Amino acid sequence: MKRLLYQSASGLAVLGGVLALLIAVVTIVNVGGFAIDKVARLFGGHFPAILGYEDFVGLTVSCAALMMFPYCQTRYGHVAVDVFMNLFPSWFGRAVDVVSSTLMTALALFLGYMMVRGLLEVQSDNAMSAILGWHLWPFYIPGIISMFLWALICMTQIFEREAHV
């Protein structure tokens, strides 16, 4: 079970990384378009920017960022600073891991629940992005999956026998 969760978190993080790379490429192209436009204006021309760039980046960033959370948790990226924790006995590190994982589980479940409510609300309102006219609700799905996967990973870490430090 733990292995499947960790592999899922890795896969989700890779997809989030692909989205982040896509955001970077689109941003570079858009900035390049602005530079070309500046030169074109010197000669009386015009070069348009990417239509809907803000919509695309805003919606995609919201997906990509949340898709990294479960992977960070598999690496204890949300728990404690190892240098600081190494100053304390191992039982204390384990106690901090249990408390941290319990609190992170509660936080991830709460955020997942609120995202489900948000999805249902924007879906019922038929909310769309301002420029591209994309439905907003599908962009909630990666975040919801990420929050519940994050919670499951935290739960498995509560019951690990040894501390990660």
Query: 49-99 pLDDT, tens per residue?
Result: 899 999 999 999 999 999 999 999 998 775 556 677 778 888 888 888 888
Side-chain-side CA neighbours of 29 within 13 Å: the count stands at: 12
pLDDT of residue 9: 97
pTM of the model: 0.86
Q: How far apart are CA 137 and CA 57, in angstroms?
A: 16
- Residue 100: pLDDT band with limits 50, 70, 90: confident
Give the per-residue pLDDT at 4: 95
Q: What are phi and psi of 128, to 5 degrees?
A: -135, 160
Contact call for residues 147 and 115 (beta carbons, < 8 A): yes
Asked, for residue 47, whether it belongs to a domain, the answer is yes
Nearby residues of 70 by Cβ (< 8 Å), 6 or more positions away? 5, 8, 9, 12, 13, 146, 149, 150, 153
Closest CA to 37 of 52, 48, 53, 51: 48
| Whole-number Å distance between alpha carbons of 72 and 80 | 12
Tokens 């919801």 sit on residue: 144
How big is the chain, counted in residues?
Answer: 165
- 163 has a pLDDT exceeding 70: no
Token digits of residue 9: 């978190």
> Among 140, 21, 141, 152, which Cα is nearest to 74's?
152
Domain residues for the domain of 22 are 2-158
Which pLDDT score is estimated for 26? 96
Does residue 165 belong to any structural domain of this protein?
A: no
pLDDT value of residue 86? 79
pLDDT, tens digit (0-9, with 9 covering 90-100), for 12-62: 999 999 999 999 999 999 999 999 999 999 999 999 989 999 999 999 999
- Give the DSSP per-residue string, 61-99: HHHHHHTTHHHHHHTTTTT--HHHHTTS-HHHHHHHHHH
For the chain, how many structural domains are there in total?
Answer: 1
Whether 163 is covered by a domain: the verdict is no
